[in-house]
Chains A and B, each alone.
Chain A
Amino acid sequence: MNLYLQELKSYLKTMLFWILGIVFMVGAGIGKYEAFSSGGDLDIGAIMDTLPKAFFAIFGLAGIPIDSFGGFYGMIYAYVTIMGAVFAIMVGSGILAKEERDKTVEFLMVKPISRMKILLVKLLAATTLVLVFVGVTWGTSAAIINTVSPNEPITMELAYMMIAMFIIMMFYLSISFFMAAFLKDAKKSSQLSLTVMLTSYMLGVIMGIIDNTDFLRIFVPFQYFRVTELLDLNINMFYLVFTIVVSVIAIVASAYYYPKRDLTI
C-alpha cells in the first residue's frame, strides 16, 4: 500500500500537466464544433467513396466522416488517443525501470516485500494512472458536450470510444511494461517502446492513405477500433480479444522474468 501511494505521488506532477493538456485538447476541440458544422455543406462522405484516400489526406482532411457531431468528436478522440498512447508508454516503461535508473533499486529491494509484489503494485499504480487519464477525458468530454450540443447526446458513443481508448492505452502500457521488466537496460527498453509506437503510428499513416492495406491493421493499435465502428456502437470482437490476450501475455511474462533477472545497481 505504501509503495502504491508512493508511486502515485511520484507521478502527481506529471499527471497534472497531462490533465491540463487533455482539458485543453477536448475543450478547444469541441468548442470549434459550431464553426465547423456551419461551414461545410459539401457532402464529403459521398465524394470520399469515389476517390483514393491519399487525395483527402493530402488535401488535409481526416478520414472520418464529419457530417455528425459524433463524427466530429471522433476526430478529437483520435488525437487524444495518440497522446494517450504516448502517456501509456511513458508510464509503462518508466515505472519499473526508474528504480534502476535512479539507483534507488537497492533501497526498494531490501524492503520486506517480494519482487513479485513490487511488480504487481507498480502495475496497479500504472493502471490507475491510465484510468485517471481516460476518466478525465471522459468527464471533460461529457461535460463540454453537454454545454455545447445538448441536443445531440452521444453518451453511448462516447462510452464506446473511451473504453476503446482505455484498451489501446493498456495494450501499449503492458508492452512497454514487459520491455522494462525483461530488459536490463532501461535506456534500451524505453527506446524499444518508442520504436514500437512510432512504427505502429507510421503504419497507421500508410493505412490512411493507401487503399487495400487492411492486412497491416494488426500492427496498428490505433486502427483496432475504428471511429466509424465505434459510432455504430460496435466494437471489433477479434481485436478486443487480441489486445486482451497480448496484454495478459505481456504481463504474465513480466511477472515471470522480472523476479528472476539481475538488477542493474
Chain B
Amino acid sequence: MNVFRFEFKQTIKSTLSWCFGLALLIGIFMSFFPVYFKEIEIMKPIFERLPEIVLRSLGVHIDTLFTALGFYSFILMYLHLIVSIQAIMLGLGIVGKEVRLKMSDFILTKPMSRSSVLIQKCLAIGAHLFITWIFVSILSYIMLSSVENQTLNFNAFLILNLSTALIQILFAGIGVFIAVLLRKLKSVVGVSMSVVFTLFVMNLMQAILEEPWLRYISPFQWFDKNYIFYNTSYEWPMLGMWALVTGVSLVGAYVIFTRKDIHAV
C-alpha cells in the first residue's frame, strides 16, 4: 500500500483547499436563501394554485422554487462544476504523474504489478473524492437545515447529494482514462479545464438548443433537479449513461495500462 499512502499524502493539502473553496461556495450561496425567499414568498400562492400539469409543462417543480432544498438543487450545478474539475484533475494528476514527469520507469521497476500500481492510485483518488464528498454532504446538510423553513425532504436531499458523488466518480474515471491514453501529458489544468468547461457550456447551451440527444452526452444534465423532485429517483437512461461512461473509462484504463508500451523517457 506504499503507492496509496504516498499519493494520498501528496495531494491531501490540495484536497483541503478544494474543501475550503467548496465551503465558501455553499456557505455564501445558502446564506442568501432567506433574502431570496422573502422576495419570492408573494408568488407562492399563485404557483400553488397552478395545476401540476401546467408546472410540469413549464419544467419546474414547486419545491425547486420555494424551498431551501430547491435553492440547493440550483446551486448543485455549480457545485458539480467545481467537484468535477477537482475530480478530473485528481485522475489526470495522480495516474498521469509518471507520464507527465517522464519517470514511468521509476515506478514500474518496483516489485509491484502494473495492476497493483493502478488500483492503488485509483484508491488514493477515491479516498480524496470521498473526503471531499463527506465534507460537502455534512456542510450542505447543516446549511440546509439551518435555513430551511419547511421540513427537509430528506430523500430528495440524499438523491441530490449522491449525484455529487456520481459526478465525482465519473470525472475521475474520465481523467484516469485520458491519463493512460495519452503518450505525453502536458498540462493537467489545461486538459481538465477544456474537458469540463466544454461539457459545462454544452449544458448551459441546452437552454437554447433543447436537443434531446444532447442530454445524453452532457453529464451535467444527467441529474435533472426537476425530475428528482417529481420522482424522488434518478432518470434510468441517464444513470445508464453514467454507468456506461464510468465503466468504459475505468475498465478501459485498466486494460490499456496493464498492457501498453510505456516509454522509459
Give chain A's interface residues, CB within 8 Å of chain B. 21, 25, 28-29, 32, 35-36, 51-52, 54-55, 57-62, 72, 75-76, 79, 82-83, 86, 89-90, 93-94, 98, 101-103, 186-187, 190-191, 193-195, 197-198, 202, 205-206, 209-211
Contact = CB atoms under 8 A, between A and B. Distances in A.
Given A51-B39, A206-B29, 4 more contacts: A29-B208, A82-B197, A90-B193, A202-B25
A55 B65 contact: yes
Nearest to B42: A51
Contacts, number: 109
A154 B209 CA distance: 21
A22 to B, nearest CB: 11
Given A25-B201, A58-B65, A206 B189 contact: no
A190 B189 contact: yes
B208 A210 contact: no
A171 B100 CA distance: 29
The 7 closest A-B pairs by CB, nearest first: A190-B189, A52-B39, A90-B190, A58-B74, A86-B197, A54-B36, A86-B193
Contacts of B208: 29, 32, 36, 72, 75-76
Interface residues of B, number: 39
30 contacts: A28-B211, A32-B208, A35-B210, A51-B43, A54-B32, A54-B71, A55-B39, A55-B65, A57-B74, A58-B64, A59-B60, A59-B65, A60-B60, A62-B207, A75-B207, A82-B201, A83-B197, A83-B198, A89-B193, A90-B189, A90-B193, A90-B194, A93-B187, A94-B187, A98-B187, A101-B187, A103-B102, A194-B193, A206-B28, A206-B29
Contact of B186 (A52, A54, A59, A94): A94
A197 B207 CA distance: 23
Nearest to A191: B189
A29 B205 contact: yes
B238 interface: no
B254 interface: no
Nearest to A35: B210
A94 B43 CA distance: 50
A101 B99 CA distance: 12
Interface in B60-108: 60, 64-65, 70-71, 74, 78, 82, 85, 102
A94 B65 contact: no
A28 B43 contact: no
Contacts of B35: 210
B40 interface: yes
A55 B40 contact: yes
A55 B190 CA distance: 34
Nearest to A98: B186
Interface of B: 21, 25, 28-29, 32, 35-36, 39-40, 43, 58-60, 64-65, 70-71, 74, 78, 82, 85, 102, 186-190, 193-194, 197-198, 201, 204-205, 207-211
Given A86-B194, A101-B186, A206-B29, A32 B36 contact: no
Given A32-B208, A60-B59, A79 B186 contact: no
A61 to B, nearest CB: 8
A82 B202 CA distance: 11
Contacts of B36: 52, 54, 209-210
Given A55-B40, A83-B201, A198 B29 contact: no
A199 to B, nearest CB: 8
Contacts of A62: 207
A93 B191 CA distance: 13
Contacts of A190: 187-190
Given A58-B64, A75-B208, A52 B40 contact: yes
A29 B28 contact: no
Contacts of A35: 210
Nearest to A97: B187
Contacts of A36: 208
A79 B204 contact: yes
Contacts of A54: 32, 36, 39-40, 71, 74
Contacts of B188: 187, 190
Given A55-B65, A57-B74, A28 B40 contact: no
B7 to A, nearest CB: 16
A83 B65 CA distance: 29
Nearest to B28: A206
A51 B28 CA distance: 21
Contacts of B43: 51, 55
B193 A210 contact: no
Contacts of B70: 58
